[in-house]
Every structure is written in C-alpha cells, then in structure tokens.
Amino acid sequence: MRRKEQRSMLALAIVMAFVVGVFWAGPVGAEPPFEPGDPCAGLQQAADALGCEFGEPDCTVAPVEKTGQTTSYATGDDGDLKKGVAWPNPRFTDNLNGTVTDNLTGLIWLKQANYNSTTGSTGTATWGEALSFANDLSDGECGLSDFSVDGDWRLPNVKELQSLIDYGNYNPCLPTGHLFSGVQSYYYWSSTTHADGPGAAWYVGLGHGGVNTTHKGHHHYVWPVRGGE
C-alpha cells in the first residue's frame, strides 16, 4: 500500500479508533481490549490494522531534515539550535551508472547537473523544454547506464530541489562532498507551477538557495530526478 493511501486510511481509522475507545460493543461479558476512553490504545489498534506501528515514520507526520547551517549568528537561531533530522553519512552514493542517490530522501538524481537535452548538450532551457527533456531521458543518454526507459525520469518539484540545499554552503549551496558534476550556481527549474499564474513556475537558485518564480519562457538549468512517491 502506498504511504499516501495508508495515511489517508489512517486518518479515517483514527476517528474510528476514538469512537471505539469510547463505545465498546463486544460480546456480552467480554472484556474490552483496552480501557474505555483510552485513545492511545485505539490508535495502536488502528495502526495495527494498517500494518504499521503507531509512532513509527509510516504512521506519523513526515520529519523535516536539518538545513545544514552550523554557524550561529545569534542565540536561538538555526545555527545555534540545529533542529531537524540528521543527515545520513554518507549523504550521497554514486551508483556508477550516471546517477547519484540521495540517502536522505531516497531520490535518484542525474549525476551531471547541466544537460539540457537527451543529445547530451549542456546549458539552459525553457520550462517546457525542461519538462520534455526530463520525461524523455533514458538509458544510453547523458551518461546513463541505469536501464531506465522513457518516463522513468522527470523534472523535480520545488520541494525535491530544495531537499538538496545545504544552507551552510553557497556557490553552490550543496552539501560538502556531494558527488555531482557540472552543478551551476544559478537557477534550476522545478516542475511546480505558480498557483497565482500558470504562466510561471518555481525555481531554486543553487548559488544561494533562494526560491522564486519566473515566466516559463525564461531559460534556466535542468536537473532530472527519478524515484520518490
């Protein structure tokens, strides 16, 4: 069962678990499996029904990772508190097939980060061109030997692009020791359209980590990804 579907079912199960925790309707004379009104026991039963443990990642909210900033400029700032999920070590794995896996998110990225077409040319592209390039990418193109086929690769959404950012670095603002090639300290397209204007899309600046929108006809860099939910 996909996690999104599982969490939707869990939300419904939570309501049911609360009701069950208040009203026990078992056989006459039978002892309830938990104390009446105990929501935690009811939640555990709901989680059990979905095949996961209450409190584990599949049954809780998604965790947020650390930003990477370790220098503190004021008490209580990000560099002081360093809140978030710790990054794995190593953060990245070179798959030796033209791809790199981010061990934090599980996403698989094209190792070379400045291609703009399946012919292997480099440079920028419009948003539409970026979408087409990413969707058409497959084994044998752009250094790939991963057995991928058309449709396996895609343009990352804005959150996926942001997941690469290390706010303790700049130019590029990627984690120290990253295994990518050709990374440009400039803007990279995401697949996410601006909700207030469908003619614009979100991009992430890999020079400083900024996020903004611009017209889809502008030219920015492209970094295909695969995997994720």
Identity of residue 201: A
Confidence of residue 225 (pLDDT cuts 50, 70, 90): very high
**Span 95-110, average pLDDT:** 98
Residue 101, pLDDT score: 99
Confidence of residue 22 (pLDDT cuts 50, 70, 90): very low
If you write DSSP's letter for every residue of 37-54 in order, what string do you get? T-HHHHHHHHHHHTTS-T
Residue 63, pLDDT score: 83
Q: Which of 110, 107, 115, 77 is nearest to 179 (CA)?
A: 110
The per-residue pLDDT for range 166-199, each reduced to its tens digit, is 999 999 999 999 999 999 999 999 999 999 999 9
Count CB atoms within 10 A of the CB of residue 215. 12
Confidence of residue 53 (pLDDT cuts 50, 70, 90): low
